[in-house]
Amino acid sequence: MSERVVHTPPEATGEAPPRGRLAGRRILVLGGGQMEIGEADTPIGNGRAISVLCAREGAGVAVADRDLASAIATVSLIEKENNQAFAIQADATKEDDIVRMIGEAHKGLGSLDGIVLNVGIGAGGAWLDGTTAESWDKVFAINLRSHMLTVKHAMAKLEDASSIVFISSIAGLTAGSRLPAYDSSKAALFGLCRHVAFEGARRWIRANVVAPGLMDTSIGRLATRGRPNRAATNIPLNRQGTGWETAYATLFLLSEESSYITGQTLAVDGGLSGL
């Protein structure tokens, strides 16, 4: 049997040239750092790729993360390309931190017309038997409550016709992670997004969800360590995705190219959830 050919365009590897798709925009990326997992050459994660790509495409970017050093490392990558960004330390589980983060981003950028929420964990045991009330509440505080609070406090500061992008997961579309709290919280983001889109429509503020599938990122590799058969999943496009591919989907939804799209979910999963 011949090997299947894998198509990996320059966009998938972060090597495509900039096209000015976000020229003049001002974007806050919450979760713009990257988890270190002890590997020497870990692939770029979703949040870092989104931050770098937004800046590469012309936006000023505020990179917020609980780990300030990681946010600074993202900013350094952006500055190496002669683009503009700055780092903000913020714990998304703390409402005071969220309010301060939004204020710092707004002041540092001059205004805000885009927010990306890339925050989430998969804590808790497997299956319902392994799920405790405490682990459930922790997951929802990070994966859902933080998103609600960020959007709540940001709405008044967002410019008309801004765009909000929630980063969820295909775990919210189809069962498989074996983590009930994770699956449920990721599905709940779809409902939150629809409300935000409904509420924001009067000011042309759009809200959409990007739902990545099996991605070759630091978090993805950590998940595979815990569940090795994850790496053998049969994906229709015959490979795992990259952080850059999550970033390009997010870029589209942030840009005016998607000006008539709101309240929607875009799966970036190589066909896994649909095929």
Residues tagged active-site: 182
Residue 117's nearest CA partner among 83, 148, 72, 81 is 148
Question: Phi-psi category of 263—alpha, beta or left, where left has phi over 0 and alpha has psi -120 to 50?
Answer: left
193 close to 263: Cβ distance less than 8 angstroms:
yes
Q: Which residues contact 179 (CB under 8 A, 6 or more apart)?
A: 122, 124, 126, 131, 139, 171
- Region label for 140, one of left (φ > 0), alpha (ψ between -120 and 50) or beta (otherwise): alpha
Query: Among all chains, which residue has been given the structure tokens 């970036």?
Result: 268
Whose tokens are 């090597």? That residue is 15
Strand order in the sheet with 85-89: 85-89, 60-65, 26-30, 112-117, 158-167, 206-212, 265-268
The single residue listed with the structure tokens 């090795």 is 228
Q: How far apart are CA 112 and CA 52, in angstroms?
A: 17
